[in-house]
Structure formats: structure tokens, C-alpha cells
């Protein structure tokens, strides 16, 4: 079981390097296996009907029923192996490279294509942030008299987390400079936008956040700093300089 757990952790960490190449269906399947392996059977309520992305992720997890954590780990590793046949060799070769990271489901941007179409009238400010429409975000904030842009959605993420995850500097400028978003806002796991940008490999976003006061020494609930989940030498260099 220890060997399986180690293989699972390695494959989950490797996902970050191939996530941009995967189809939404595979990502949903991996998400379900990951949650089943780390949490167990689905233990959260079904999202509201208009929370399309959250609903699909919930369904992928819920569909696994009472599958054991061990089987879920095996299925996760097997699927990663099918999607990237050489991942084990690549993972071993990367050891000692100085690029750290943790397994998890930090990166969510590639799930964007699983969102279903919504009429503009039905969209929330979160939908506009996900779509990358800074003009609509500003309009929505003004029309709705949004007093606090540090609100958290059902997935435990703030607007600034979605913008950082998707590498959208224009959106971050709107949120931080125009709407006065907290640059160090924490999500449900204690992660800041800097954690998201570092994990996703968005070097330009990491630099932007640091230039705008992001604190690189904020640890999440597992004690991980942005540098601990960083993907890429350029990001590591930026975070080391800022420390």
C-alpha cells in the first residue's frame, strides 16, 4: 500500500505537467479518482443547477460510489499511464531538479471547457472572470453595487484565484487595482492567488502578483508556501528573490 501511495502521489504531481494536453473528459475522470482516493466516497451536496462546472465535477466523484481508496489510486495511476506512457521515466528524471510541488487539484483552468453555455443575463461575476471578460466584470461590479470583491464561490475560490489560475493578468489588474481585491485572499485550502499562479506555471502572473504586494510567505492549510508548489525554474527564481 505504501508503494501504491507513493506512485499515486508521483502521478498526481505529474498531472501538472500534462494538464494542458488533456481532454475535459479525462480531467473529470481524474478528478473523481483523486477525490475518491484522498477523501473517500463523495460527501458533499450536489451543486446548484447553474453551477455547471462544480456539478460535473461532483457527478464524476459521486459516480464512483463506494469504490475503495486503494482502487481509486490504482485507477488514477493507470489512467495517467495511459495518457502519458513515459510519465514514470520523466518523473524520475525530474527528481533533484529543484522544481518542487505537491499533488493535488490546485490547477482547474483546463476544466474551463466543461462549462455549459449560459445566457449573459444568467451569468454571475464569477462566470465573467472565468471567461476573462474584464469589461463585463467591471460593469457587473458597478451595476450590482458589489461592495466586496473578495467573495468566495461554492468551490472555495475567490475571483482573484480564478483569474490567477487562468493566467489572466488583465483580469487581475481589474480585480486588484480597480476593485481593490485582497491580493493575499485565501481559498478554502488556505491558498492565495500566488499559490495558483505558481502551481499553474504562470511566470508572468507570479511576477505581477509579487509586484503588486503578494506575500510569498503565506502558507496554506498544509503548510505549503507558493514556492513549494511552484512549477518551473523561472517561477522559483522570482519567488526566491521575493523571499
Q: Locate the domains of the chain by residue range.
A: 2-94, 117-242
Using an 8 Å Cβ cutoff, are 102 and 13 in contact? yes
Query: For the residues 104-128, what does the mean pLDDT come to?
Result: 57
- CA pseudo-torsion sign 40, 42, 44, 49: positive
Q: Which fold has domain 117-242?
A: 1.25.40
3-class DSSP state of 152: strand
What is the rounded CA–CA span in Å between residue 8 and residue 166? 26
Q: Which residue blocks in 103-144 are alpha helix, DSSP H? A: 125-131, 134-143
- Taking the model in full, what pTM does it have? 0.59
Nearest to 19 by CA among 34, 7, 4: 34
- Give the start-end residues of each E strand in the chain: none
Q: Is 158 helix (H, G, I), strand (E, B) or coil?
A: strand
Residue 102 DSSP symbol: -
In CATH, 2-94 is 3.60.20.30? no
- CA 94 – CA 92 distance, rounded (Å): 5
User: How many C-beta atoms lie closer than 10 Å to residue 226's C-beta?
Assistant: 31
User: If you average pLDDT over residues 6-17, what whole number do you get?
Assistant: 84
Q: Do domains 2-94 and 117-242 have the same CATH topology?
A: no
In the numeric block, which cell numbers belong to residue 32? 473523481
- Contact predicate 160/125, CB 8 Å: no
Distance CA 229, CA 217 (A): 13
- Of 242, 191, 196, which is closest to residue 216 (Cα–Cα)? 242
Mean pLDDT of the chain, nearest integer: 80
- Check: CB of residue 101 under 8 Å from CB of residue 85: no
Residue 2 pLDDT grade (very low, low, confident, very high; cuts 50, 70, 90): low
How far apart are the C-alpha atoms of 149 and 152, rounded to whole Å?
9
Mean pLDDT, rounded, for 63-81: 94
DSSP, collapsed to helix, strand or coil, labels residue 137 as helix
pLDDT reading at 236 higher than 70? yes
Tell me the pLDDT tens digit for each residue of 36-56.
Answer: 998 899 988 776 654 556 678
Average pLDDT over residues 94-120: 44
Out of 85-94, 125-134, 145-154, 226-235, which region has the weakest mean confidence (pLDDT)? 85-94
Amino acid at each position: 500500500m505504501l508503494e501504491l501511495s507513493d506512485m499515486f502521489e508521483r502521478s498526481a504531481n505529474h498531472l501538472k505537467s500534462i494538464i494542458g494536453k488533456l481532454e475535459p473528459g479525462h480531467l473529470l475522470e481524474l478528478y473523481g479518482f483523486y477525490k475518491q482516493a484522498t477523501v473517500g466516497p463523495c460527501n458533499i451536496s450536489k451543486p446548484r443547477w447553474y453551477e455547471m462546472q462544480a456539478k460535473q465535477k461532483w457527478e464524476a466523484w459521486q459516480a464512483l460510489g463506494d469504490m475503495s481508496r486503494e482502487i481509486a489510486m490504482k485507477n488514477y495511476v493507470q489512467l495517467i499511464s495511459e495518457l502519458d506512457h513515459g510519465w514514470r521515466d520523466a518523473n524520475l528524471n525530474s527528481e533533484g531538479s529543484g522544481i518542487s510541488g505537491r499533488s493535488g487539484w490546485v490547477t482547474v483552468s483546463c476544466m474551463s471547457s466543461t462549462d455549459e453555455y449560459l445566457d449573459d443575463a444568467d451569468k454571475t461575476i464569477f462566470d465573467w472572470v472565468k471567461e476573462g471578460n474584464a469589461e463585463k466584470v467591471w460593469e457587473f461590479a458597478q451595476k450590482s453595487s458589489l461592495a466586496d470583491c473578495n467573495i468566495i464561490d461554492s468551490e472555495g475560490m475567490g475571483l482573484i484565484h480564478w483569474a490567477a489560475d487562468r493566467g489572466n493578468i488583465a483580469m487581475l489588474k481589474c480585480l486588484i487595482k480597480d476593485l481593490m481585491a485582497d491580493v493575499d485572499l485565501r481559498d478554502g485550502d488556505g491558498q492565495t492567488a500566488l499559490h495558483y499562479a505558481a502551481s499553474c506555471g504562470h511566470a508572468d502572473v507570479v511576477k505581477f502578483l509579487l509586484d503588486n504586494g503578494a506575500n510569498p510567505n503565506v502558507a496554506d492549510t498544509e503548510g505549503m508556501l507558493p514556492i513549494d508548489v511552484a512549477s518551473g525554474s523561472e517561477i522559483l527564481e522570482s519567488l526566491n528573490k521575493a523571499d
